[in-house]
Structure 1
Amino acid sequence: MPKSEGKKKENVKWMINCDNPTPLSFYRFIKPTHRNRADEKYRNTLNSALECNPKNRKIQKKLTEMRKKFDDGEYKQDWEIWMQEKRATRVHRSIQETNENVHKKFNSLVESQSVIVKQAEDKGEIDDDQGEEHNEQRSQIDNGSDDIVVAGESAKKKSKTDEFFEDMRERNIYVLCEPFRKLSQMDAEDRFEMIAKNTVEIELPEDIKEYLHCLLNGDIKNALSEVEKPLDGDARPLMLWTREVCRHFLFYYYYGGLRINSDEKTWSNQTVYRILDLFSMFFGNLTSGIAFGEIVNEAHKDRVYNVNADQKQSNSRRGDKNDAVLYQDNNATIIYEQSFGPTGFDATHHMEDITKLARNGVDDLNYHFLQYEKSSITTAKKFKSVGIHGYKYFIAIYLTDLICMKTYRIYEIFKCKIPTSYTDRWFLAKIARIGVYLETHLTDRQFLKGKMGMEDAINDKGPNCVCNWMAIPDNTPEAKRAK
């Protein structure tokens, strides 16, 4: 009998004998990896089980009711539950295998040491040289203890990543940024391509490329001379911004370079904050101000639409805080988080800031969607929240948007390295793209807000209105909720 036929019979036998053959129980039995194939196999197995026992009324009734419930969509959550169980099992097995290997090594060292010591004691021959060997063996055992500590720390890191990821999924947010992207892919294997498609790509304009090539194709004195030359009177803001960013870096190089060995917060202020400050200077029609240092995000004060369910009210009652915020129409449009500088970096802080940008990005979207709750889903799905993340020597730009009903995603569209010496000057070409991204997305936001406003005036509430696609839990504290 072919192996596949034997497997089918085994599945049918399980279906007949199982007291409650739900899809979740079936998933646990066959351990599938793809939802569509798993559902098809479940339905085929149900049908085969019904055909095998046409005269057994009890089995017929049980399986017929199960098929009806399955077709009516009563078990839609079973796949999500199975994937969560699968991930938890994988993490548990990884930790268990790591601990088992470390314990085997540790026990082997202890047993080896015990045999040596016992042999020496029986002979009464522990001299100075053997004493040194004994100390060396003891050192190896101690190193084994260190391995256990390292393994424990590794397990904690894995569980911390899963913890952050699970929190995002509970909020219906897919994080398509490292180190969460693979977890998102496993979580949505059968529809990950749909979730990850239509991401944004933007190229650097040719005139900006030519200007940078002319500016940086030489030594630093020539570059400083070039950057001081006046531009045309009708130079657009993006060109002015590019020139000022280059001027800022060139002067730092000329006078000794960035102080990368100093305090990381000083380093951050010298670089990313300055870039954003210059942006606000030349793009006044897109932004109406900028602020740094634990700044309240105006769009996140109202806890009724805030998705940060575990957010605690601060003593100052100032609401959620960000490292920096750019404003457009008094609403947050660009949120910035800094995960330390090159002299200090923590992976957990890095992950926390990514998830914070995701949560706050969703808040930003929901805030605007509530202002235009009758706007169409087609327009709303084009509306994006911009987040910027500074960490180590890098700057990354993230976008958060609505991808399907009550489901959001955040993904990285651009990452560049901050140059720390004149030999790294060509990294400035990538930093110039930051201006292109921000200008493009803020312009699009203005256009889309206007379009949503027009749709708001002509559409009635219905399945195609964005208000029916949002996930906005009421997170107002119990004591403050209206009775």
Structure 2
Amino acid sequence: MPSNVTKKQRSIDWMFSCNNPTPIEFFRFIQPTRKARAIENYGKFLEQAIGLCEDPSKVSKLENVKKTSNCDSDWNIWLIEKRATSVVSKKARKRQLKKQEDDDEYDEDIERAVSSNESSPYSTSYVSSSESSNESYSDSSFLLRLLKKYCEKESTSLYDPAHSFIIDLSPSSKIKGQFNNGQWTELVKRRPGVVKNTYHYEIEPLVAHLFSQDMDLSQAREKWHELRNVAAPTYNDGFSYAKNDWDKIKRWVERVTGQFLDAFESPRNPLRNDCHEREWTGDYIIPLIQGALKLDGKFRVPWGEVSVLATLRRRNNDKDILAEQVERGHQVDILCNYEQYEIACALVCGGPYSYDLTKLASDEFNLPRIMKDMLDDLEMKFLYSGKNGMQLYIVGIQAYMTEVRIYLIEKREIYFFHHLKTFNLPLTYSTYKSLKCALRVAWNIRGLLNSLVQELNTVNAGDDGGFETPPTTPSVNKKTMQTPSKQPKRKRRIN
């Protein structure tokens, strides 16, 4: 009994002294092993602390914490955090796992921490908690274990990219809840250094000429007519384009902006009426993306229904193609090729007014997998050439209505799917200035792919190392999942 009183008083005192008495801080303080009891104690001690507190400001703070707390979410974060920082002997872990399998009463708490003899990241015996956490986090096996457990959960969708060893770092990621805030922030920041480079300053004289001031439609058209008179900036060798390509750049900007100005000036603006996917893609998205990439003739950028050879190879890799039916590859709306390498792709979902959520979900599922197939294909080509392919990446573009999202996938411990940028295209002259961002992003994509080309060119550079067998691809155990079979949709009966 005295120990219970002491525990109660200690918890209430903690509520008073803690600067932010949230559920996760409470779990860190008491080191619980049972979810239901921990949440019950948190609510009970918080209520008692509010009743005993005589400081109005402290009472207000505790009541605000009570209103905003999310015990279930904080418990999940606590489990991940404890699992990442705990040091447990193999025997203790086996005993606890067996106990969890036999204990149906606490099925909801199947992921709870092991017994109290574990090291606590917040106890006095714990040394350098942040360093230990970073070591566990940076360990490739930690991310692999986390992905495996996440994929085994019944609540995880069969269409989650985690099944293909891809960790989605986009704002809409479903796996985000498996990490604490510090881990997730660090993951998002782990972008390749090449994305920190920007190139849009090279076309800034043209952008400033077109969008530097407020003007009506007729004035915008006058600026457009004067575009070819804009002088080239002082050239230096650090530019991503050749010295004699300035006129080509002006014609690209002229075409992109001219298409939209033509629509805005039309008595029947095609962007305000029945603009379907083919027209939207061909007249407005292709000039922007393809125009920037094809400017110096370095890239081939076919568009339409283009098959991705990388996915074709992956789908048929395990088949006896002399005896089995060959499957076709995924198709994309835009594919960027450099020599024999597929390095960027785009999926377009309908026109600017299409609300096809099923097609959007399909594109969101397929795009990371297609990009992974392309990256695996690049890596294989590098391995056959005896080169290290760990600095490679693939750029992906997804267009839905007026929104265009830019992604990048790279491979480290696993595959990291980064969201780089989102911009919108205009439908009326009132949003004409949004083209400023679109032009800059398209030019930055071109610079990003040019940086990749420099890496690809190392395959044919250097001395011949003689004849040797290429090493086994490290991607062999991180295969892209097959598309799950779809269940027929049930028709709803209308009474």
Bigger fraction of residues in helix: 1
* Alpha-carbon distance, 1:370 to partner: 0.7
TM-score by length of 1: 0.60
Query: Which residue pairs with 1:209 in the alignment?
Result: 204
CA distance in 2, matches of 1:267, 1:75: 44
Query: Which residue pairs with 2:295 in the alignment?
Result: 282
- Pair 1:384–1:447, CA change in 2 (3 A): same
CA distance in 2, matches of 1:338, 1:441: 21
3-state SS in 1 of match to 2:473: helix
Q: Is the 8 A contact 2:403 2:422 kept in 1?
A: yes
Residue 331 of structure 1 aligns with an amino acid whose one-letter code is Y
Q: What percentage of residue pairs aligned between the two structures are identical?
A: 14
Q: Is the 8 A contact 2:316 2:327 kept in 1?
A: no
3-state SS in 1 of match to 2:342: strand
CA distance in 2, matches of 1:375, 1:366: 14
2:352 to 312, 330, 342: 342
CA distance in 2, matches of 1:204, 1:398: 17
3-state SS in 1 of match to 2:458: helix
CA distance in 2, matches of 1:316, 1:80: 31
- Pair 1:301–1:76, CA change in 2 (3 A): closer
CA distance in 2, matches of 1:249, 1:205: 21
Query: Which residue pairs with 1:417 in the alignment?
Result: 424
CA distance in 2, matches of 1:39, 1:358: 36
Are 2:167 and 1:174 aligned? yes
Query: Which residue pairs with 2:95 in the alignment?
Result: 21
Instruction: Describe the superposition over 1:356-401 as per-residue Cα deviations: whole angstroms up to 9, x where unpaired.
Output: 1111111111111111117899x63431111111102111111111
The correspondence of residues 89-100 of structure 1 with structure 2, limited to 5 A, is: 91=155
Are 2:208 and 1:227 aligned? no
Are 2:437 and 1:444 aligned? no
Q: Is the 8 A contact 1:24 1:78 kept in 2?
A: no
CA distance in 1, matches of 2:141, 2:280: 55
Residue 223 of structure 1 aligns with an amino acid whose one-letter code is A
- Pair 1:25–1:369, CA change in 2 (3 A): farther
- Pair 1:172–1:421, CA change in 2 (3 A): same
* Alpha-carbon distance, 1:80 to partner: 5.3
CA distance in 1, matches of 2:93, 2:419: 47
- Pair 1:344–1:325, CA change in 2 (3 A): same
- Pair 1:457–1:386, CA change in 2 (3 A): farther
- Pair 1:219–1:198, CA change in 2 (3 A): same
Query: Which residue pairs with 1:251 in the alignment?
Result: 262
Aligned residues: 356
- Pair 1:403–1:20, CA change in 2 (3 A): closer
3-state SS in 1 of match to 2:417: strand
Are 2:439 and 1:432 aligned? yes
- Pair 1:330–1:224, CA change in 2 (3 A): farther
Are 2:372 and 1:298 aligned? no
* Alpha-carbon distance, 1:443 to partner: 0.7
Instruction: Describe the superposition over 1:207-264 as per-residue Cα deviations: whole angstroms up to 9, x where unpaired.
Output: 5334223223333333323323325584535554333312222222222534342043
Q: Is the 8 A contact 1:305 1:475 kept in 2?
A: no
Greater Rg over alpha carbons, structure: 1
* Alpha-carbon distance, 1:351 to partner: 2.5
The alignment's C-alpha RMSD in Å is 4.6
Residue 335 of structure 2 aligns with an amino acid whose one-letter code is V
Q: Is the 8 A contact 2:404 2:422 kept in 1?
A: yes
3-state SS in 2 of match to 1:170: helix
- Pair 1:41–1:164, CA change in 2 (3 A): farther
Instruction: Describe the superposition over 1:114-135 as per-residue Cα deviations: whole angstroms up to 9, x where unpaired.
Output: xxxxxxxxxxxxxxxxxxxxxx
CA distance in 1, matches of 2:453, 2:206: 28
Q: Is the 8 A contact 1:374 1:455 kept in 2?
A: no
2:389 to 370, 380, 388: 380
1:352 to 347, 362, 367: 362
3-state SS in 1 of match to 2:187: helix
TM-score by length of 2: 0.59
CA distance in 2, matches of 1:74, 1:442: 31
Residue 241 of structure 1 aligns with an amino acid whose one-letter code is W
Gaps of 5+ in 2: 8-28, 39-88, 121-139, 233-243, 483-495
- Pair 1:445–1:238, CA change in 2 (3 A): farther
Q: Is the 8 A contact 1:304 1:474 kept in 2?
A: no
Q: Is the 8 A contact 2:271 2:428 kept in 1?
A: no
Out of 228-237 and 363-372, give the one that drifted further: 228-237
Gaps of 5+ in 1: 46-72, 92-158, 477-483
- Pair 1:204–1:39, CA change in 2 (3 A): farther
* Alpha-carbon distance, 1:186 to partner: 1.7
Q: Is the 8 A contact 2:395 2:408 kept in 1?
A: yes
CA distance in 2, matches of 1:5, 1:459: 62
CA distance in 2, matches of 1:74, 1:318: 34
Q: Is the 8 A contact 1:374 1:459 kept in 2?
A: no
Query: Which residue pairs with 1:270 in the alignment?
Result: 283
Q: Is the 8 A contact 1:324 1:335 kept in 2?
A: yes
Query: Which residue pairs with 2:406 in the alignment?
Result: 397
1:467 to 473, 481, 484: 473
